[in-house]
Amino acid sequence: MPTAVDVVRAGDRARVRRARDGHRALALCLLIAGPGILVMLGENDGPSMLSYATTGAMYGVGFFVPFIALTFAMAFIVQETVLRIGIATHRGHAELIASRFGIVWGGFAMLDLFIGNLLTLVAEFVAIAAGAAFFGIPAVVAVGAGALIVVASMCTRRYFTWERAVMTLAAANVLFVPAAFFAHPDPVAIVRAFGTWQPLPGGANGQFLMLVLANIGATVTPWMLFFQQSAVVDKGLTKADLRLGRIDTALGASVAAIVAIAAVIATEPLFAHHVDVASFAGGADFATALRPYLGSAGATLFALGMIEAGLVAAMTISTSSAYGVGEVLRRGHSLNLPLSQGRLFYGIGIASIVIAAAVVLIPHAPLLAITLAVNVIATLLMAPALIFVLLLANDREIMGRLANGWRANLAGGTIVVGISIVGALYAIVLVVQEFGGK
C-alpha cells in the first residue's frame, strides 16, 4: 500500500512527466533544479565564507583565486558521482553504506556525520551571530531567530516546498559579489592570478597549509555526500533526469565558485593595507574592518551575506543529519513525512539545531578559530568518506550502466590522494614547528 511519502513523490513526478512530454524545457529545468544548487550554495556557509575572507586578508588574490576555482571543480566531480549513485540506487548515502558494508560501517558513517555536522552547525550560528553583530543585534536574539527560521523550514512537511524556500534564501549568497565590486579590484591582477598562480608572500608554511585545508574543507565536505544523495531520492529523480541533474550541480558549483572568489576579492584590501586579522572573532570584525575600504554599503552586504550563509547551511546540514540517522536506523527519513510519522527524522534535525545554537552562546568562545578548525576537520574526514563513494560508484550490481568509468575513477582517486597529501603535509609542519620550538 502506498505511503504518504509515495503519494507526494508521485505527484511531483507527474508534474515532471507533464513538462517533459509537453517539451517545456524551462519548466522541466526548474522542476529538476534543487539538490545540486543547494548542496553547493549550502557549502558556501559561515565557516567557508570566513575561510575565504581570512584567505583574502592574509594572501590577497594571487594564489588562492585560481585554487578556489580548482576546489569547486573537485566538488563537481564528487557531487556528480553522488548524483549518479542516488539516481541508480534510489537510496540515501548512509542507508547504502549500511546495506553494502554492514550495519557497523553504516553506524560509523551515521555517527561521523552527526558529530561533524553538529560542529559545523555551531560554526553556522557563529556566522549568523557575527553578521548580526555588525547591525548591533545581540547574539541571543540573532541565534534564537536563526534557530526558529531553520526549525520552521523543516516543518513544511513537503520536500518541494522546503527546497524552494531554501533556494530562494540561497540566492542571497550572491551579496558577496557586489561587495567585491566595492573593493575596486584590479581585473588585470585577477586574470594574471589565473594565468600564473603568483608566488605566496611569506612562502608555504603551517599557516598557509591550514588555509589550503580550510579552503578545501570550504568546498568539499562529508555532509554534502549525504545531503545530495538523500535529496535526489527524496525528490524522486530518475535516470531520465540525469542530464539536468548534472546541469543543476554544475550551475551550483559555478555560482558558488564566483561567490567564494568574490569574498576573497572583497577582503583583499585588508591584505593590501596590512591589516592583522589574527584576532578577528568573526564576520562582524571583517565587516567593520572593511568599512573604510568598501564603504558602509559594501560592509553591510558582507555582513548580510554572512547571515545568509549561516542560515542556508544550517537548513541543509541539519537536514542531512536527519537523513543519515533515519536511513541507518531504518526509520522514516523524508521531508515529505507528516510530523506524526517522522518524529525521529524531525527530532534529530531540530535537536542538532538547538544544541548548536546553545553552544554558540557560551561566553568568550574563540569564534574565528572554531570556524577555521571546522573546515580543517572536514577536510581531514573527507578522504575516507570519498573512498566509500568510489567503492559504491564502482559496484556494478547496484549502479549498472551508471557505474564509474576509468576517467571518473582517475579523477576521484586523484582528489582522494591530493586531499590526503595536503593533510599529511599539514601534520608534518605542525610536528616540525612543535619540536623545532623546543
Between 245 and 198, where is the model more confident?
245
Percent of the chain with pLDDT over 90: 38
**CA–CA distances in Å: residue 110 to residues 36, 220, 315, 316, 328:** 22, 18, 18, 16, 7
Percent of the chain with pLDDT over 70: 90
Please check whether residue 4 lies inside any domain of the structure: no
Please check whether residue 214 lies inside any domain of the structure: yes
Please check whether residue 7 lies inside any domain of the structure: no
d(CA 158, CA 219): 28
What is the predicted pLDDT for the residue at 11?
A: 78
User: At residue 435, does pLDDT exceed 70?
Assistant: no
Please check whether residue 289 lies inside any domain of the structure: yes
What is the predicted pLDDT for the residue at 39?
A: 93
Lowest mean pLDDT among 119-123, 134-138, 226-230: 119-123
In this predicted model, what pLDDT tens digit does every residue of 6-34 receive, in sequence order?
A: 677 777 778 888 888 888 888 888 889 88
What is the predicted pLDDT for the residue at 429?
A: 67
Please check whether residue 16 lies inside any domain of the structure: no
Between 333 and 401, where is the model more confident?
401
- Give the single-character DSSP code of 148: H
User: At residue 436, does pLDDT exceed 60?
Assistant: no
What is the predicted pLDDT for the residue at 364?
A: 72
CATH number, domain of 399, equals 1.20.1740.10
In this predicted model, what pLDDT tens digit does every residue of 139-153 receive, in sequence order?
A: 899 999 999 999 998
In this predicted model, what pLDDT tens digit does every residue of 299-318 receive, in sequence order?
A: 999 999 999 999 999 999 99
At what angle are helices 367-393 and 406-436 packed, to 10 degrees?
150
Between 361 and 228, where is the model more confident?
228
What is the predicted pLDDT for the residue at 179?
A: 94
Residue given cell 572536514 in the structure block: 378
* Domain span at 195: 33-436
**CA–CA distances in Å: residue 355 to residues 108, 122, 144, 160, 318:** 21, 8, 12, 27, 11
Please check whether residue 123 lies inside any domain of the structure: yes
3-state class of 331 per DSSP? coil
Please check whether residue 415 lies inside any domain of the structure: yes
Band of the pLDDT at 68, cuts 50, 70, 90?
Answer: very high
User: pTM for the whole thing?
Assistant: 0.89
User: At residue 434, does pLDDT exceed 60?
Assistant: no
In this predicted model, what pLDDT tens digit does every residue of 162-172 receive, in sequence order?
A: 998 899 999 99
User: At residue 248, does pLDDT exceed 70?
Assistant: yes
Average pLDDT, the chain: 86
Band of the pLDDT at 84, cuts 50, 70, 90?
Answer: very high
Please check whether residue 58 lies inside any domain of the structure: yes
Q: Total domain count for the chain? A: 1
